Structure 1
């Protein structure tokens, strides 16, 4: 039984179809898919959401199909990327809902699809995956929520569905639950109570597309804590979503035309800047040979350390060196006029230097004369550290200049080492799936650097800032509740004084993926029954095949889990072609483990059908 039929569940069905001829043959099998949302898109990528919301990856960088780069035991079954699928829709080869044809007609490889278009792609992939299953497999779709799983370790599992008097029974259960709601942490609960006492509006961390925004009144100030992709969705829904529009200005800058229904968004975060824009060019020339300094051998050494290892102390220096290697490989091979050394000699010395050590810094300083060409991950992570503006108005100008510079750099191939670092980040994430829970900092850093919004979204943000609809709060954002005045107050480290006072506060970020505090009844019950969680609350799974671990470290023979709430979570929502994507490797390993189990059980108990 597969609980969750969104992208991850669909990917697992595809791998079951690819591996079944080898590992299961023509035996009868009932495959049960449980999800209250439509198969393919699931909750996050379902069709019924605002057409204004986009993906944050180019169409050519999104695929649901394996390729020869994927290190897996199962067979490669190629298929179209989102961009290739759209091209086939335009030729009439693939039918699609007429309402989406106009959006697909203009979708090029380097464009950003709307989420409704992505939903149609995922629905098509799901249909193809089901069609590819062997004839003996019967698929049963249950459009309900699974609320409980029970059963002995050595026996069939029972899964209760919401509103059903009796459980479904299965030989195996796979949880592919995707992003989940969570109970608010103590600070958010206190703010909720404060808002109730003073008749304020407070929106805890949630999925923006699912949030009721009607309490955010036109013209009223709203403090927004968070500057990532959830903020971008919020910005879109409260501006264009309320009737505003954009037009080109006489000076070439984008101009926002308000509808008069927008609130005024006061936005800030710990970093104080939005996520870096998506890179606006494609790779040309030689790729850095990755992994180099953070590959299987280094991960093996970390995992073999007695007593474990500390991510920031032990893994991060190797990761820093890996990212630096990719950066300088590209700089030396693609922009040799900007360096003072031969690559072969530099690489030899770089390899011998201690990670994050003085020798490495001196080597880079001597070989790379322009500091702008040197990779400084600490400065990238906290770009406003030490920056102090005289007042709130100067902060607005400073942040607009920062965003403009970021947009220019991220769309300029002269800075192509940035793309090399992006590829290295993907490589690192692929290795980290074996490590387990490496804490929230790394995932946040990766998202900030590699999973930011499309460039057009940041151009819209600039237009909103110039129009006064968005006001920047800067870095080090703190929000306090003032009981005497009955308002929220926002301060930051980038400018003096109170920067915003408001009767509305929005937490613009996803709920934390914590098993202990999840609102998902099935996952919470699993935890209460003995499933293990990591120090930061992720569900612990066997990195080899996704089996759920108990608190003694034993993998459950019949329960598996895949997705962002596990300690084997992969980077990003979707795989990029040609990158040996971790999600594909995990799906293949899990599918093969499922099929081997069923094959062995069929040999012992030949009475059909078996149930998954």
Structure 2
């Protein structure tokens, strides 16, 4: 008789842990006490994986407060399997501090855990300790017949017939692993430079310049950026924040009473982007009172109706109006319930009229104007998204003052509970994300907008940015940033739309953004091999998967019965492998669907093997 089926999970970060947690939760119902071997493959330690590994600078933080981070399901998560609750990060830290939970970690990290409060922004290496504990707890929850085997190394390829066992080759291992099922949870990917980046790299090589392409900032060698020299930085999101930290505090600088004291080892960072502003500050207060009922205008019924239409949906035409309506609903519901003194209509009357008004219509604009007297209390998604559109400054010096005023105002608003409709919009964004995962590749506009509005840096980081700006270590370039290679002078030259006619030159350029998650440019031999083996990719290069359970699709749209993929490189990309408690957690629902499909397949396979034997 067979010893039992084999499942290989490639990727041991939080997504891989989440899949195994769902296997543990669903095994009693779907698999019983049958034997199963799970092989977990990753070059980095299980739990944190690459991004959340312990071995990184203690200066690098999460961009979420501790109370907003959990790896556990609750009754808001749409899943067919059982809920298995567990502590959010801040509760876990309190359990460790008070002796209810014991962890094995370095003394420095243990000290961080003991000092952690709910509204603190933990370091990523502290998060690694939490994720490791979740992983170990998950292993302990598996039934006795299910065993996990860890393999340190990169998975190089997956091969095998659709109706037979798969073979997984692992770096450093002579013999491949035989698998009945394979689940890819490989997370963010490295990529080869695209044509534009290759041209910039070649230009830099010709002229002895420094060009750092898109990369994970924690893994980038920054030693080539010299002290005191100008560096052009293209990108103003979280990769820039990491870069800013490592090139300032990471080089010995410090903050005293809100003033930056340089070490003398810092370069001068000239930063710009398409928007020309940093991501909005993370909201700095907790939710109180009634939550807006979500979804209301963009739920499963509306998604079903769009999916039933012929042809692929267009994001701007078909989806964005519903997104905008849902976010408006969240905003105004909160304003009318928590701050009614700033409105001129009661909730039921407003919501009745709001429900029938077309998104973007004059009727909707008139309704909002009559109900909300102060324009500062109205939701303007276009202004939020592109705050520098139409803004012009006569000089870069004027722009510095203008951007500092903008960042200061954003910080004040995002830390003011009187502006709590902003937090309601954040909850609306999470709700919308849960629906959009069903539509496959909808382009980058949504993901960029979500990250800019909902996944910005901690407030303290933006206060540091202001201090660096006042110290002259960071200089703002504004919106519409472009970079050209000036062959005549042998320099990179940056221009933007906010200061017309002005330019800035430097001998170093950093692309402060993550690599593109594309099958066409990925450095992953594993994913390139799957694509060459017939897996489908979208126009933007994402791996096509069945939104119902994550099975990899071929170019004819057929789900592979033995191969699954979850994560940001797939068409079912979600907002993150972990989430804020009680906000639905789309990734958790995806993990559950994949685990249940896999367990049912492996159970049936085990039964057939038993009969055959």
Which position in structure 2 is the counterpart of 1:373? 377
Native 8 Å contact 2:577 2:587 kept in 1:
no
Hey, what does 1:226 align to over in structure 2?
235
* Deviations 1:316-370 (CA, angstroms, capped at 9, x unpaired): 0111011001111111111111111122111111111111111111111111111
Match of 1:330 in 2: 334
Q: Does residue 1:149 correspond to 2:150, yes or no? A: no
Q: d(CA) in 2 for partners of 1:9 and 1:608?
A: 32
Alpha-carbon distance change, 573 to 132 in structure 1, aligned in 2, over 3 angstroms: closer
User: Matched residue of 1:297: which SS?
Assistant: helix
When structure 1 is superposed on structure 2, of 491-500 and 536-545 the one drifting more is: 491-500
Residue 607 to residue 6, structure 1, CA distance change in 2 (3 Å): farther
Asked if 1:95 is matched to 2:103, the reply is yes
Number of residue pairs the alignment of both structures matches:
604
Q: Secondary structure at the match of 1:605?
A: helix
Shift of 1:165: 2.7
The more displaced of 149-158 and 570-579 is 570-579
In the TM superposition, residue 245 of structure 1 has moved relative to its aligned partner by 0.3
Q: Report how far residue 608 of structure 1 moved.
A: 11
The whole-number CA distance in structure 2 between the counterparts of 1:337 and 1:77 is 41
Contact 2:11 2:185 in 1 (8 A): yes
Query: Does 2:177 correspond to 1:168?
Result: yes
- 1:251 paired residue number: none
Give, in whole Å, the separation in 1 of the partners of 2:591 and 2:612: 25
Match of 2:307 in 1: 303
Give, in whole Å, the separation in 2 of the partners of 1:566 and 1:391: 43
Q: Is this contact kept in 1: 2:15–2:577, CA < 8 A?
A: no
Classify 1:72/1:608 alpha carbon distance in 2 versus 1 (closer, same or farther; 3 Å): farther
1:414 pairs, out of 418, 421, 426, with 418
Verify the 8 A CA contact 1:205 1:508 in the aligned structure 2.
yes
Q: 2:599 corresponds to which residue?
A: 595
The gaps in structure 2 that reach 5 residues or longer are: 1-7
Give the distance between the partners of 2:580 and 2:157, measured in 1 at CA. 34
Q: 2:60 corresponds to which residue?
A: 53
Matching of residue 132 in structure 1 with residue 141 in structure 2: yes
8 Å contact kept, 1:489–1:498: no
- Contact 1:283 1:419 survives alignment (8 Å): yes
Secondary structure at the residue paired with 1:434?
helix
Residue 345 of structure 1 pairs with residue 352 of structure 2: no
Residue range with higher mean Cα deviation, 532-541 or 449-458? 532-541
Rounded to whole Å, the distance in 2 between the matches of 1:367 and 1:140 is: 60
Q: Does 1:576 align with 2:558?
A: no
What residue in structure 1 maps to residue 31 of structure 2? 24
In the alignment, is the contact (CA less than 8 A) between 1:207 and 1:230 conserved in 2? yes
Return closer, same or farther for 1:451/1:487 CA change in 2, 3 Å cut-off.
same
Task: Find the residue that maps to 2:591 and give its secondary structure.
Answer: helix
Question: Is the partner of 2:439 in helix, strand or coil?
Answer: coil
- What per-residue deviation string (whole Å, max 9, x for no partner) do you get for residues 72-127 of structure 1? 11111111111111111111232342221221122101111000100000111111
Q: Does 1:12 align with 2:19?
A: yes
Equivalent-residue separation in structure 2 for 1:42 and 1:16 (angstroms): 19
* Contact residue 89 and residue 96 of structure 1 kept, 8 A: no
Q: Does 1:361 align with 2:365?
A: yes
Of 386-395 and 69-78, more deviation after overlay is shown by 69-78
Cα RMSD, aligned residues only: 1.1
> What is the CA-CA distance between 1:138 and the residue it aligns to?
1.8
Q: Helix, strand or coil for the counterpart of 1:363?
A: helix
Instruction: Provide, for residues 377-420 of structure 1, a one-character-per-residue CA deviation record: whole Å limited to 9, x for no partner.
Output: 01111000000011000000000000000000000011111001
The answer to whether 1:217 aligns with 2:221 is no
Match of 1:537 in 2: 541
Q: Distance in 2 between matches of 1:486 and 1:403?
A: 34
Q: Kindly report which structure 2 residues correspond to 1:99-110, keeping only aligned pairs within 5 A, or say none.
A: 99-110=108-119
C-alpha deviation, 1:607, in angstroms? 8.4
TM-score norm. by structure 2 comes to 0.97
Tell me how far 1:244 sits from its aligned partner: 0.3
Listed one character per residue, the Cα deviations across residues 491-510 of structure 1 (whole Å, up to 9, x for unaligned) are 11111333321000000000
Residue pairs, 1:442-461, within 5 angstroms: 442-461=446-465
Equivalences for residues 168-567 of structure 1 within 5 A:
168-248=177-257, 254-567=258-571
1:36 to 21, 36, 43: 43
Query: Could you say what secondary structure the match of 2:190 adopts?
Result: coil
1:121 and 2:127 are equivalent in the alignment:
no
* More displaced 10-residue stretch of structure 1: 532-541 or 550-559: 532-541
* Conserved 8 A contact 2:189-2:522: yes
TM-score norm. by structure 1 comes to 0.97
SS at 1:54 equivalent = coil
Residue 424 of structure 1 aligns to a residue whose secondary structure is helix
